[in-house]
Structure 1
């Protein structure tokens, strides 16, 4: 496709083989670049204007970053942020900030991998590791997607109950119907999908802006909360929530997602074109993740300014927060805005998790199922434990399950982060686009922090 003719996009053949970049010695021969592209139905379908004002190019690349940012503010974040804010005030804001900075770096690396190699992270793993290793990595990633799906089902079910009085079990069953939402959006075009996601993100941002204004948190206390505290590491319960926040913020399946959807742009497949695409894709994801930082911090700040301040330090359930927000803030619409934002978050997360699941399955296994079939399978796996736990333990059980799902996500992070950093640091795979030594050192440090925190969590769970 010629990126110079944005108004003349030819029909795209999803079954066609698209030649990738010149092969480098770092890839296995049998996994050469003449395989089918990632998400072939939308690959290179969005034209990039040549010349003109820089704003036009930024807007042309804007979109993938916002789809990725959805995973950083999904319903799983709500449980961990609410628990952290109500119990420990503003202390864990530093963890929210740290995890967001880690996310900005890792997502920039994921975008770089996809743009330079014309492979998503799953395809890059299949082109590097043995079939046995790839199968184990696929299982780990599927576990992360199921954990994310679990959070979406619980969050959507809770939002439906809060807004419309639908029982949790009924809401969980209704959540299965959103399996078809992505099909409808994708049929309208990838730009329509991006517009839908951005619109819901704006709804979430407006809802929390109103609540922040109503809560009127002390600025000094918030700023101190962004400074790291040694107590986070010495208090096992605080560390558990902190790791949950990291797991809820830095989402492993988002690395696979981002490395794929940046390829929807029809940038010039030359060194100059790829270098330009990396610049704009990184700007897109950084701006979008700053929005995610605002929303995650807002959830924790609202919890700290209302629940922790008033002595309600045990608020870890979304239902509790809904009931207490309006009375404590003195704003009748506060609880409704909270539930509306939660529903928007659940719907958005459905779209991105569906795409990530398709990318992971196709990339690791080269197995292509109809998206509706794959979504129903993963939704079914997530719905069963929600219904079982709700029936036995009630709402309290689903709240604990929601926090636990984020810890599971955190445990899967090393299996995505380590291959990603390894690939983008390898000159044999990336050529002149390999990251510099300082960036590589920072990325490996982030990977090391993630591994150490997960080992600490595993030790505490087993022996503490």
Structure 2
């Protein structure tokens, strides 16, 4: 006879059988009893870390640094506005998961027909695949820059990331959160060091947080601004967050839910503030080092080379700066890989209620992202400009899918029949709808601008 299952194993089996979101980790992270504020916050912290990864992935890098290189500090205001929008949307996502016990995909499936849910699943999977493609490209380029590994080989190596995730799930979900936090810290330290070396102008930097009318009138600036917004607010994060908050063992009564919402929101806002700082560092790096010298920074390799070129960045140029940039890029790619595979699991189970073995689902999710990159590398002989052009198109996919995540989220969290006393207050409801409309319109312009070549 085998050993009897532990209490934690029984909880996982029950959650999986009941169709809970991320059943194998749902309601498995214990919380301290009779603890103070900081101890409780530490226990609730983690989901915000995994969510924040999507706001500083390789897809953000080129857009932010190009914005600084071309227009100085002016677009810092766009990063600020985007981050405030992200904080509101992610808090709504966390609240949905805590109050209803459903993630956004499950709630959408319950409110729609099977055919509609299937179409939404396909769209969401495309968005997750697009996100994962950006991480594959970022990781492969970083491996090439650091170790001179051919791009195709680097792409294939990134498929092994999924094996790392499978291993990590065996040692506990908190370990995953800790590793991701460490990688985020690596990215933060690298860019803080590089920005400090670049000695940015503090006055223009601070004034950059004040929105400028020029952003709306300068077509080139407007397109970069739209790109920053499109790369900052990620649709898969709304599905992810509504699921991850359910990993905590909070009491499922009104008081327990209220406390869980409070700490989940604080956790999310802290981590998104860190993501905001990192995105600002990226733009400030572009402005301080490259504004007035070059704006030809369309590829990761361009940035890597520019950081060691005295003719561009002056006396501080060094191979160390370039190497640190590539290390941060690799860390970013690894981080987003973890959250991408988790998001794939959430939407597959939520929209179409398909349950397949965890290891198989994660391998499929990863392979779906790798195949387009491999085809691109083979067709274009590993030319980085072609591969990184694919990264640009992934941002368009994300833009297309965004309204299909924001609008249901606004609907569900404003519904008093579903949310009870936790339904959005009037100001939150109207703000959420204004955001949904504005982001939808802006993303149409972003898609048009990408293909029409505005500016």
What interval of TM-score do these two structures reach, taking the shorter chain for normalisation? over 0.9
Quick one: distance in 2 between partners of 1:125 and 1:219? Answer: 46
Corresponding position of 1:173: 156
| Matching of residues 56-455 of structure 1 within 5 Å | 56-309=39-292, 311-327=293-309, 328=313, 329-390=316-377, 391-392=379-380, 394-455=383-444
The CA RMSD over aligned residues, in Å, is 1.8
Corresponding position of 1:16: 14
Residue 35 of structure 1 and its aligned partner are, at CA, apart by 4.2
Going from structure 1 to structure 2, the CA distance change for 1:371 and 1:84 (only over 3 Å counts) comes to farther
Residue 51 of structure 1 and its aligned partner are, at CA, apart by 1.9
Going from structure 1 to structure 2, the CA distance change for 1:91 and 1:259 (only over 3 Å counts) comes to same
Quick one: distance in 2 between partners of 1:234 and 1:400? Answer: 27
Contact 2:11 2:27 in 1 (8 A): no
Residue 173 of structure 1 and its aligned partner are, at CA, apart by 1.3
For structure 1, list consecutive stretches of 5 or more residues without a partner in the other structure.
Answer: 1-7, 19-33
Quick one: distance in 2 between partners of 1:357 and 1:351? Answer: 10
Quick one: distance in 2 between partners of 1:430 and 1:35? Answer: 21
- Helix, strand or coil: the match of 2:380? helix
Corresponding position of 1:27: none
Quick one: distance in 2 between partners of 1:235 and 1:377? Answer: 43
Quick one: distance in 2 between partners of 1:349 and 1:458? Answer: 23
Contact 1:232 1:238 in 2 (8 A): yes
Quick one: distance in 2 between partners of 1:460 and 1:316? Answer: 16
* TM-score when normalising by structure 2: 0.93
Residue 240 of structure 1 and its aligned partner are, at CA, apart by 2.9
Going from structure 1 to structure 2, the CA distance change for 1:176 and 1:10 (only over 3 Å counts) comes to closer
Quick one: distance in 2 between partners of 1:37 and 1:138? Answer: 18
Residue 255 of structure 1 and its aligned partner are, at CA, apart by 0.5
Residue 411 of structure 1 and its aligned partner are, at CA, apart by 2.0
Q: Which structure shows the bigger proportion of residues in helix conformation?
A: 2
Quick one: distance in 2 between partners of 1:403 and 1:84? Answer: 15
List structure 1 runs of 4+ shifted beyond 6 angstroms. none
Quick one: distance in 2 between partners of 1:239 and 1:143? Answer: 26
Residue 203 of structure 1 and its aligned partner are, at CA, apart by 0.9
Contact 2:11 2:28 in 1 (8 A): no
Going from structure 1 to structure 2, the CA distance change for 1:197 and 1:458 (only over 3 Å counts) comes to closer
Going from structure 1 to structure 2, the CA distance change for 1:293 and 1:462 (only over 3 Å counts) comes to closer
* TM-score when normalising by structure 1: 0.91
Contact 1:79 1:403 in 2 (8 A): no
Contact 1:76 1:151 in 2 (8 A): yes
For structure 2, list consecutive stretches of 5 or more residues without a partner in the other structure.
Answer: 1-5
C-alpha deviations, 1:277-327, integer Å up to 9, x for none? 000000000000001001111111111111124x11111211111111133
Count of aligned positions: 441
